[in-house]
Amino acid sequence: MIALGINLASTKHLFVRIEIIDGYLKGNAVFVIDVVRKLIAMYVSFIFVYSGWELIQIGGYQVSPAMSIPMSILYSIIFLGFLLNAAALVVDCWEKFSGEMKGEEN
């Protein structure tokens, strides 16, 4: 549930923030720190996508002891959840940059 719910947190802009830093930033610095947060989140998401893909390949040889289903099905949830998260972050960055280029504030 957490791996699939991370996408919802990204689309609703619920990133970890330090309010003291956000309170002192003005103008362009707010835009830059927001982009840095999204890039870090994308990097972490891509690490989990890569790791999830590796686990899917290994999980074909394992079976869940409790449910007797291949572990690759369970590992694919990690892969899918963070892949959707990375896609949502790319779209969010695209919208942020296109809005900034037009002079709009998000």
Burial readout 13-48 (b: 16 or more C-beta within 10 A, e: otherwise): eeeeeeeeeeeeeeeeeeeeebeeebeebbeebeeb
22, part of any domain: no
Instruction: Count up the domains in the chain and report the number.
Output: 1
Q: Which pLDDT belongs to residue 50? A: 94
Q: Which pLDDT belongs to residue 61? A: 84
Domain containing residue 69: 2-12+27-98
Calculate mean pLDDT across residues 2-7: 72
Q: How confident is the model at residue 18 (pLDDT cuts 50, 70, 90)?
A: low
Specify the pTM: 0.75
Q: Which pLDDT belongs to residue 104? A: 58
Q: How much of the chain exceeds pLDDT 70, in percent?
A: 86
H or E stretch covering 32: helix 28-59
